[in-house]
Structure 1
Amino acid sequence: MPVITVNWWKGNDRAARGDLVAGITDVVTRVSGCPRESVTVIVRDVELGHWGKGGRLADDRGPAGPRSSQ
């Protein structure tokens, strides 16, 4: 029973989360041979100000950010 946790920037819409969960589930079932029903994907939205990369907070890095339907 694989459990996959994804941390990504807050602000992605429901469609993006659904695509992510479906895609991860597809890969895990293909690689492991386990049934889709046994794959759990946990998606955690992280505020940009709580995410650091390269010594800087993500909200200081410019306009690149989450996908939304807007």
Structure 2
Amino acid sequence: MPVIEVTLVAGRPATTIRSLLHELTEAATRALGCPAESVRVIAREVPPSHFCAGDVTIEERNRHHG
């Protein structure tokens, strides 16, 4: 049973997240040859203030490039 975990910055519409879950499930079934029912996909959303790259949070980056 494959488990795919994705961490995203919060703020995307639920329909976008649902599409991502679907596409990841489909990719796993194609690549691994397993049934969709066996694939688990977990999307975790974190606030922009809790996600950073290069010691700059997404919140800080958005403020400077807003």
Q: Does the alignment reach a TM-score above 0.5?
A: yes
Write the distance in 2 (CA, Å) between the matches of 1:12 and 1:39: 23
Q: CA RMSD in A?
A: 1.4
Gaps of 5+ in 2: none
Report the counterpart of residue 20 of structure 1 in structure 2: 20
Amino acid at match of 1:40: R
Q: Between the two structures, name the one with larger relative contact order (CA 8 Å, sep ≥ 6).
A: 1
| Unpaired segments ≥5 residues, structure 1 | 65-70
**Which protein has the bigger helix share?**
2
Identity over aligned residues, as a percent? 36
- Equivalent residues, number: 64
Runs of 4+ more than 3 Å apart: none
- C-alpha separation in 2, matches of 1:62 and 1:48: 9
In the alignment, the residues of structure 2 paired with residue 42 and residue 31 of structure 1 have an alpha-carbon distance, to the nearest angstrom, of 18
